[in-house]
Chains A and B, each alone.
Chain A
């Protein structure tokens, strides 16, 4: 089957723009944003066309060329266009377009302007290759390539040690996940003899009940595969225990946080699980694991977000927590709901980050919310859009977040998966916490009195149009994106679930309307309670949070220091490994034991060298004659 041109343009235009901008961007100066923007806009239009084609029943699955082959193993560069891909294409290209435009304003006086835009193009290309691939190897390619873009963009201000540390950390932590992911792909190949989705998914039933001997233990082959693949998702989507890189990734420029670390790249793990739903669905063990990891991460990240004071850190932990909701959705078999939340979250979370960027821009790079306050009147558009995003994330109807979160919680409640009810309970509690920390952020930033310096106050200004227009467009998304999936109980058709069901199926669950209404009321009530508590604590009686922190200093410290997970990893993994390399291997094993044993006695070399140095005249002729002598002796031996 031929691949239509519009589909090829979607990833390859950003690639072309990356190469062009990297090589010639410097000469374009402050116009360096044009090639990437033109490329991504055309990509977006092509993606819309692709979406339209899918709506009209077109599906494409074709190879461009064979990437590498060895005996039966064959990896291709190939494209798959179906409902799931179409949704991802729209999410990625639309957010990417808006972030490109926003960056024109946000990055305008940065010396690395062209570099920034070329990296954005690289990221867009990588992400599109990831979602468009028709096989696991291309998925892996996109997976690592977005990792590279993320590394480059987190460390964009590389002269800061913290930024270059964060980029490195993101890459290495992700490698832990990719370790499992890569082995998962290998197991997939060994079992099915192919890494192409269609072959694998159509034969997956044949592998049910088989076992695979891995490191001496017999594992259920489907569960082994699913769990290994899930390792990759845990890394990329920052779930426990590999969540530690995402908060640090906030060192990158804020548009990057919005695009990569909220809306698109970090959702790749959810995409992976949804894409591999035929495998996951056959393994109750894997499904339970996904659900439990989701529920735990959801809760722990939310608790940390309650007390953070850096505007971007709060949103970062909220991202970790919201990604966990998506995994809960996937884990209970409601992949459609998981992807639905991925889609609505992309808009409201990108909006939160870009809004935060607008605030940081106005505050002369201040990120501490304790030094903000009262920004409402200086940044009216930012405030208004931020409010919409906060309502959306808090799950208040009729904002987008309400529909997707409600769907996930209802599905979790009704799910036959063992951990479903537990996940529902945790998810509902966290819904209240989400509303609380979101509005805490909103109140501390935009309401009350300004707490910054006089210098900062003078510079306060609403951001330029290139920034406020994307904010406004995203606000429309954060409000209305959920309306494509209005559940039947509210008189909608749930078009979303029907659209995706060809790819991800639809869980066989039945909830009475009465139960659905009840669940809905509970989750909205949780959200409203969170908002109310935040209002009381930060607007009416601001002394409460201070008293709480004083009353429970240990708890506060633990939360504020993120449960000391970073410190734990440093003490148990990072430092021991480095010390092992430096002290034990370099100093003792290599320096003394192996040297000693293999060299005989090191001093022998010294003696030998004295003997040898007589021969070592540096003249080739002499060596030549010695060689000739050697050859002669050889001949003599054979005589």
Chain B
């Protein structure tokens, strides 16, 4: 399993070192800062490509493992590795960072080097979170992400940035503290180790599992964000600069869902099963609540932010369906949501740079003024509302299938989300791109996408079509790991709830009554 070259460490520390290097460039050389940041991000991306090709899809074991003793007194290791659940997020992080740098190219004009340094530091920390196999290490990266994100919102954000940044910080912090308590409790009950794999292979008393489940829930649910702890997200998204929103939507909020998959489910299987119905209910509320509230928004970014709440509701629903289709759908949907919502935030950022308004009412008739932009935005819109042939559909369908197989009502209510979803997205599209040209837009003399902006959006377009038309490439990475995860979840109860090849049995249970 040893890859020889410490590729994961390189992926984590290259951008961090790059971030430090940026700070040494004189303030007057702003363009050099941008170029160097872009270069680092591209090298980072190229460095991550071998993961895609070298990854062994036939095993659920951790790959590209690096393990060194770190603080031996407390049995803390520097322990990295990825499996079929985390690999896609590592790759998505390296790609999205490039796009974030591109979209910030001319949008960020103040404290340029600090901005790009924060972005790169954030990238390293995010990859660290996905690669950590030691709880201690994980927690450090988890907290380390907070700081650059807090700065990105608080320093380079919109008018209400301070409020949004502090709200973001506080929500996440409270969750993290509870998680920390959970980690420490686990440390003492799990044989004085922070080794995630080892902790996952043990069983804990049910009562303890429940306590830990809610402690972790506090951290992960805030990050996802699940209803009702979602209210930091609209503020953070709305005030953050485009790159901040993209990272937030693309990667950061995935960490919550990732946390459930990596910790809550394998470590606390009985609690997970016991909490299945409450989690499904919260997910359904998020889906429907998030969708309906979108209909009442006047601000584009806020609308997309609330749509994230709805889409992440699908993700948590798929996860807690606790069956194969639901889980795979959820993981794929996490990628999809990162791509689609990321693309939507990139697009809004691009147009905001010219219009300096997020009010939907200020727009109108953009399809005539900026046709290429309108065309791309339409594809993103359609992907967001789950048009088959584009990526959103695959994830949503698998999730609804999984939910339905698990509890018919879960699939049923989740599916209502796709009706309202079409409603708010098409309404948004109509108000921004269709109808008569808004005089305000005409007065601005908008131009269509330039080359840099096109390059920023095209990778997202390619991913949307690729995952939509041939998702098996992506799904094939998860099959073994998801099967293993389900084994872990079901091991405690004998696997009646759902197992890797049990979908038909599930169905028969329903048919048989």
Contact = CB atoms under 8 A, between A and B. Distances in A.
Interface of A: 65-73, 137, 140-141, 144-145, 148, 151, 155, 158-161, 164-165, 168, 171-172, 175-176, 178-179, 182-183, 186-187, 189-191, 193, 210-216, 218, 221, 577-578, 580-583, 585-587, 589-590, 594-595, 597-599, 605, 608-609, 612-613, 616, 618, 620, 623, 627, 630-631, 635, 637-638
Contacts of A145: 387-389
A616 B426 contact: no
Contacts of B292: 577, 580-581, 585
B408 interface: yes
B289 A213 contact: no
A577 B297 CA distance: 13
Contacts, number: 207
Contact of A71 (B148, B163, B325, B437): B325
Contacts of B229: 598
Given A68-B471, A71-B328, 14 more contacts: A73-B401, A141-B389, A144-B387, A144-B393, A159-B434, A159-B436, A161-B435, A183-B400, A186-B405, A577-B295, A578-B296, A581-B295, A581-B297, A638-B184
Contacts of A70: 324-325, 328-329, 398, 475, 479
Contact of B118 (A586, A609, A620): A620
What 6 pairs across the A-B complex have the smallest Cβ distances? A582-B296, A581-B296, A581-B295, A190-B507, A164-B434, A71-B324
Interface stretch (B139-147, B198-206, B264-272): B139-147
Given A182-B415, A620-B121, A620-B147, A637 B293 contact: no
B504 interface: yes
A396 to B, nearest CB: 42
Interface in B391-415: 393-394, 397-398, 400-401, 404-405, 408-409, 411-412, 415
Nearest to B139: A634
7 contacts: A72-B501, A144-B393, A213-B408, A581-B293, A581-B294, A608-B170, A638-B184
Contact of B501 (A67, A71, A191, A612): A71
Interface stretch (B40-48, B236-244, B247-255, B417-425): B417-425
B47 to A, nearest CB: 24
Nearest to A618: B155
Nearest to A621: B23
B503 A72 contact: yes
Given A69-B472, A609-B162, A215 B408 contact: yes
A623 B328 CA distance: 38
Given A148-B387, A159-B365, A159-B434, A190 B404 contact: yes
B114 interface: yes
A41 B475 CA distance: 38
Contacts of B155: 618
B507 A191 contact: yes
Nearest to B423: A172
Contact of B401 (A186, A212, A582): A186
Nearest to B469: A67
A168 B382 CA distance: 12
A583 B329 contact: no
B273 interface: no
A175 B507 contact: no
Nearest to B398: A70
Contacts of B295: 577-578, 580-582
B500 interface: yes
Contacts of B420: 577
A26 to B, nearest CB: 9
A175 B418 CA distance: 8
Nearest to A162: B435
Nearest to B183: A634
A10 to B, nearest CB: 18
Interface string B68-79: 000100100000
B513 interface: yes
Given A172-B423, A215-B409, A627-B147, A620 B475 contact: no
Interface of B: 71, 74, 111, 114, 117-118, 121, 140, 143-144, 147-148, 151, 154-155, 162-163, 166-167, 169-171, 184, 187, 228-229, 231, 289, 292-297, 324-325, 328-329, 365, 367-368, 382, 387-389, 393-394, 397-398, 400-401, 404-405, 408-409, 411-412, 415-416, 418-420, 422-423, 426-427, 430, 433-437, 469-472, 475, 479, 500-501, 503-504, 506-507, 510-511, 513
Given A141-B389, A161-B435, A595-B231, A586 B415 contact: no
Nearest to B474: A68
Contacts of B231: 590, 594-595, 598-599
A626 B187 CA distance: 24
B403 to A, nearest CB: 9
A589 B293 CA distance: 10
B408 to A, nearest CB: 5
A623 B152 CA distance: 14
A172 B394 CA distance: 20
Given A212-B511, A618-B114, A627-B143, A608 B297 contact: no
Given A70-B328, A581-B295, A618-B114, A183 B415 contact: yes
Nearest to B365: A159
A73 B325 contact: yes
A168 B1 CA distance: 53
Given A70-B328, A620-B151, A165 B430 contact: yes
Contacts of A176: 419
B447 to A, nearest CB: 17
Contacts of B162: 609, 613
Given A191-B511, A598-B229, A175 B163 contact: no
Contacts of A179: 415-416, 418-419
A71, A148, A164, A176, most chain B CB atoms within 10 A = A71
A616 B435 CA distance: 45
Contacts of B71: 635
A384 B252 CA distance: 67
A638 to B, nearest CB: 5
Nearest to A631: B140
B382 A148 contact: yes
B511 A215 contact: no
A582 to B, nearest CB: 3
B228 A158 contact: no
A68, A70, A151, A215, most chain B CB atoms within 10 A = A70
A151 B293 CA distance: 24
B500 A623 contact: no
A525 to B, nearest CB: 45
A71 B513 contact: no
A598 B228 contact: yes
B415 A193 contact: no
Given A598-B228, A627-B143, A605 B163 contact: yes
A175 B166 contact: no
B368 A159 contact: yes
A461 B511 CA distance: 65
B293 A585 contact: yes
Contacts of A599: 167, 231
B193 to A, nearest CB: 12
Contacts of A73: 325, 398, 401, 503
Given A168-B427, A179-B415, A193-B504, A630 B365 contact: no
B504 A144 contact: no
A172 B435 contact: no
A624 to B, nearest CB: 8
Contacts of A65: 470
Contacts of A609: 162-163, 166
A207 to B, nearest CB: 8
Contacts of A608: 166, 170
